[in-house]
Amino acid sequence: MAPVSHGVAARVVVISLIALVLLQGLVALAMLSGPGRESLRYSLPLPNQLVAVIQAVEPASWEERGRILAAINSPTMRVDLLPDFPARDANVSGSPMLERALSSYTRVLATHEFRVDTQRVFGVVTGLSADKSGSVRSLGRLRMLVRLNDGMVLSFAPSRAATLATTAARIAGVAAVLGIIVVIAFVIAINQTARPVRQLALAAHRFATEFDAGELVVAGPREIRELSIAFNDMKRTIRELVDERTRILAAIAHDMRTYLTRLRLRVDFIADPEQNERAARDLDEMAQLLEDTLLFAREMTSERPGDPGQAPGDAMKARSNVAETIRRICAARIASGVDVSCDRVVEVGDVDLTPVALQRLIENLLENAVRYGKRATVATERYGAEIQIRVEDEGPGIPPQDIERVLRPFERLEPSRHRGSGGTGLGLAIVNALVQKVHGRLELENRAEGGLRCTVVLARSTH
């Protein structure tokens, strides 16, 4: 199976999803850096709020201080009571900028020692600002430390985790909904575009096996419609060319039959018996070559193999019994002195071939086996919905590298299958054409004990 990324639809979906993720990232960045970015900064309590907390905590007892701090603490602010100012970390420090921003706190905390630490990022103090109310904000972490009258230190550590979580959830929700809508729209649009492409590919494959397949439905975008129209035009052109070739062959065969008939009459006037026999044999071979050539051309261009002059609808419904046909052909061959064995022919059912087409198939295989292998053995078997017809001979076989070549028309191998042995080189080609028309297959293999085995695999008729 090909990777999913090889499909047009899959590739467009993947590219669209990547673009969508990048778009959502830009939207999130804009939201985080836009007018609402202040809500994402660390923010100290307002100066008057700070004084109120100090005034509430200082006169309280130890137990009351614990209750006050528990009431003050929230997801956005952590207030703790420390025994003394803690030492500063390497990435935490004060700065002149911070001192200027703390002017409003300096006025209200004139009687208390305090310190504000800000976090350094890569050695640089993050941006500070103070709003109109005097609250200090920073992108980095802030912590304010205020010494109470009894020497204890009150620590205020703001947090933006809740704000970030809320904002992130909103961004994620919007992105998810937008993403689902966009993906559904993309899938529908891409499917509408890709379906005609798939239909075109199926039509091309079908045309390779069914020469008279119907016209491809023209649908989809303008480019796909133009491609479908071009494909239909190509099919019509190819059919016309092949039909013209078949008509030419038929005309030639008809005229040649006339000349052959005249020559047969003139052969009778040859006084020399040996020359008379040779001339008659040459005429028979010429007639056979014409018949085989015309048959091969007809089968290559017909939709289904059938009898000459048979209506297409009859050919589509035709079927034949395999075992009965083989036994009849073998009996006729045996009666004429040909060494053929059909002891292993068992009842396997019917196939979707006309009696004449199945007879041609069997006769060509037997003739090929007897001509080159002297003796032919026929066997049948059924495997599920498939029927196998095997014809074996005791000849020299075929070199492995030439097995595919013998299925081509007019191919005869040397030295074992030379012209002197007879034949037109169309026997196996006709069999292969008949088999492929009903979506079967022809397999050739050399037997271990010597000789060639031809196996025809056909679907069992379901009519």
Q: What is the 3-state secondary structure (H, E, C) of 157-194?
A: EECCHHHHHHHHHHHHHHHHHHHHHHHHHHHHHHHHHH
Q: Which amino acid is at 356?
A: V
Q: Cα(404)–Cα(361) distance, rounded to whole angstroms? A: 18
191 and 235 in a single domain? The answer is: no
231-8-238 Cα angle (round to 5)? 15
Q: Cα(395)–Cα(451) distance, rounded to whole angstroms? A: 4
As given in the structure block, the two tokens for residue 147 are 């010494």
Backbone angles phi, psi at 117, to 5 degrees: -105, 140
Total domains present in the chain = 4
**pLDDT reported for residue 125:** 53
Q: Classify 447 as helix, strand or coil.
A: coil
Selected residue with higher pLDDT from 308 and 79: 79
In a domain, 330, yes or no: yes
Is the pLDDT score of 170 beyond 70?
A: no
Confidence tier at 28 by pLDDT (50, 70, 90): low
Helix or strand (DSSP H, E) at 130? strand 128-130
341 and 452 in a single domain? The answer is: yes
pTM of the model: 0.47
Helices (H), 215-373: 222-267, 273-301, 312-317, 322-335, 355-373
Confidence tier at 311 by pLDDT (50, 70, 90): very low
Short-list 40, 63, 57, CA closest to 112: 57
**pLDDT reported for residue 327:** 92
Out of 73-77, 198-202, 205-209, 456-460, the most confident range is: 456-460
Out of 113-122, 225-234, 313-322, the most confident range is: 225-234
As given in the structure block, the two tokens for residue 435 are 């088999």
**pLDDT reported for residue 383:** 87
Q: Which of 37-41, 50-54, 183-187, 268-272 has the lowest mean pLDDT?
A: 37-41
Residue pair 80/145 in contact (Cβ under 8 Å)? The answer is no
Region 282-294: mean pLDDT is 73
**pLDDT reported for residue 389:** 92
12 and 132 in a single domain? The answer is: no
Selected residue with higher pLDDT from 154 and 222: 154
What's the pLDDT tens digit per position in 63-79? Answer: 888 888 888 887 778 88
Selected residue with higher pLDDT from 357 and 90: 357
Is the pLDDT score of 292 beyond 80?
A: no
Q: Do you find a cis peptide bond into 415, omega within 30 degrees of 0?
A: yes
Cβ-based neighbour number of residue 11 at 10 Å: 13
**pLDDT reported for residue 423:** 56
325 and 440 in a single domain? The answer is: yes
Confidence tier at 126 by pLDDT (50, 70, 90): low
Q: Cα(50)–Cα(397) distance, rounded to whole angstroms? A: 103
Helices and strands: H and E segment counts in the chain: 12, 16
Assign residue 50 the CATH number of its domain. Answer: 3.30.450
In a domain, 311, yes or no: no
What's the pLDDT tens digit per position in 314-354? Answer: 444 578 899 999 999 899 888 888 888 888 988 988 998 88
Alpha-carbon distances, residue 224 vs 212, 246, 420 (angstroms): 22, 33, 54
As given in the structure block, the two tokens for residue 280 are 């008659």
**pLDDT reported for residue 255:** 77
Largest CA distance in the chain: 149
Q: Is beta strand 320-321 parallel, antiparallel or unpaired with respect to 77-82?
A: unpaired
In a domain, 207, yes or no: no
Is the pLDDT score of 4 beyond 60?
A: no
Backbone angles phi, psi at 22, to 5 degrees: -60, -40
190 and 248 in a single domain? The answer is: no
- First-to-last alpha carbon distance for the chain, in angstroms, is 33
**pLDDT reported for residue 416:** 43
Alpha-carbon distances, residue 212 vs 22, 285, 308, 312 (angstroms): 50, 32, 16, 10
In a domain, 393, yes or no: yes
Region 82-95: mean pLDDT is 70
Q: Cα(174)–Cα(25) distance, rounded to whole angstroms? A: 12
Q: In sequence order, which residues have a C-beta less than 8 Å from that of residue 343 and are 6 or more positions away? A: none
323 and 444 in a single domain? The answer is: yes
Q: Cα(451)–Cα(394) distance, rounded to whole angstroms? A: 4
Please identify, among 106, 129, 159, the residue that sits at the C-terminal boundary of a domain: 159
- Average pLDDT across the chain, whole number: 75
Half-sphere exposure of 216 (CA within 13 A, CB side): 29
Cβ-based neighbour number of residue 17 at 10 Å: 14
Percent of the chain with pLDDT over 70: 72
Region 17-39: mean pLDDT is 62
β-bridge partners, 458: 387
Please identify, among 241, 275, 301, the residue that sits at the C-terminal boundary of a domain: 301
In a domain, 422, yes or no: yes
75 and 119 in a single domain? The answer is: yes
Q: Classify 380 as helix, strand or coil.
A: strand
230 and 292 in a single domain? The answer is: yes
**pLDDT reported for residue 37:** 47
Is the pLDDT score of 414 beyond 60?
A: no
290 and 327 in a single domain? The answer is: no
Please identify, among 251, 266, 301, the residue that sits at the C-terminal boundary of a domain: 301
DSSP state of 74: B
In a domain, 378, yes or no: yes
Short-list 425, 407, 325, 322, CA closest to 371: 425
In a domain, 438, yes or no: yes
Region 113-129: mean pLDDT is 65
Selected residue with higher pLDDT from 186 and 308: 186
Domain interval for residue 273: 222-301
Selected residue with higher pLDDT from 133 and 448: 448
339 and 405 in a single domain? The answer is: yes
**pLDDT reported for residue 120:** 63
110 and 197 in a single domain? The answer is: no
30 and 171 in a single domain? The answer is: yes
